[in-house]
Amino acid sequence: MAVLGVQGALLEAAPLEKLADLPAGKRRRRKKTGEFDENLVVIISDLHTNPSGYQPARLERTIGDIVAMDPKPRNVIALGDLAYLKGKPEEYALLKEMIAPLEAAGICLTMAMGNHDRRKRFAEAFPERAAASLVEDRYVYVVETPRADIILLDSLQEDPDPEKGIVAGALNDAQKEWLREKLSTYTDKPVFVTAHHPIGETGIRDILVNSPTCSGYIHGHDHVWRDGWVKKNYSVRNLVRTLCVPSTGHWGDIGYTVLRLEEDHAEAQIHEYEFFFPKPAAEGESKPLQWKMIEDEHRDRICYFEYRR
């Protein structure tokens, strides 16, 4: 089978933790090598798989580094914009080839929809994944791990004309009601909610803040590493931590995020390869100083999530 596998030398991976810099209560015991870590999740986003562009080589690099992790993550989550701009069949065909090394390694990949995706064409390329959705007419999934579950929502607003570009994100009423009911079943186990778009576009801020166990909201779309938090109002104490993760290779912060689910908290750490905007520097061209400054600022950054129970 013709697969865009890991070819040539991979970039040296940046260290995923600096134990000396972590609070004593957050330091981890090293796991045995050569096994899967069921509480280790890698998050990728904004793949923008473009058969004629520079993006696939960067996705290939990311997939190669994930497969080489020791221990390996049991789950990888892709938060939308799987396709380049308009969800063309050839983009999903290439994506199917490129993710083959993850599946061959025994890593489970769960994919969400972004504004550049198209549900019908995604379903044609990945019929078994579309059929596994938990909400009718949307692609919604739950990834279960021993310490916390992760919900993937479908924030794609799609025009009947697949050639029209859709930017704003939203959740339909059926999906919001499903989410409200689903979160009510989590009485002790922490749960994270994810989607492609920022929380302000999804309209679920109050649902998440009112959940006693929702421990964070993670999204893509903006192609940058940015943490924050949201509140319901100025009278309610509850807050929900938010995190925007980088693109695997389109523009902005370029890399992936490692989510470590510990016993009493979670840590999301960026693996930053590079930064560029609006496109990579040409071969032999000097990298702008601003790009280097952003890379240095974001490399190995950690966002901590305290579990709500």
Q: Are 266 and 307 in contact (CB under 8 A)?
A: yes
Q: Are 88 and 48 in contact (CB under 8 A)?
A: no
Query: Is residue 159 very low, low, confident or very high in pLDDT (cuts 50, 70, 90)?
Result: confident
Average confidence (pLDDT) over 125-142: 97
Average pLDDT of the chain to the nearest whole number: 90
Q: Are 150 and 183 in contact (CB under 8 A)?
A: no
Residue 162 is predicted with a pLDDT of 75
Interval 241-260: pLDDT, tens: 999 999 999 999 999 999 99
* % of the chain residues with pLDDT over 90: 84
User: CB neighbours (10 Å) of residue 14?
Assistant: 14
Average confidence (pLDDT) over 271-293: 96
Interval 12-54: pLDDT, tens: 333 444 333 444 344 444 444 569 999 999 999 999 999 999 9
Residue 33 is predicted with a pLDDT of 54
Query: Is residue 309 very low, low, confident or very high in pLDDT (cuts 50, 70, 90)?
Result: confident
Interval 208-241: pLDDT, tens: 999 999 999 999 999 999 999 999 999 989 999 9
Whether the pLDDT of residue 304 is over 70: the answer is yes
Whether the pLDDT of residue 10 is over 80: the answer is no
Query: In Å, what is the CA distance from 260 to each residue of 146, 148, 214?
Result: 12, 10, 16
Q: Are 178 and 136 in contact (CB under 8 A)?
A: no
Written as one letter, the residue type at 207 is I
Average confidence (pLDDT) over 1-18: 37
Residue 15 is predicted with a pLDDT of 42
Residue 34 is predicted with a pLDDT of 63
pTM of the model: 0.89
Whether the pLDDT of residue 190 is over 60: the answer is yes
19 or 162, greater pLDDT: 162
Architecture of domain 32-306 in this structure = 4-Layer Sandwich (3.60)
Q: Are 275 and 252 in contact (CB under 8 A)?
A: yes
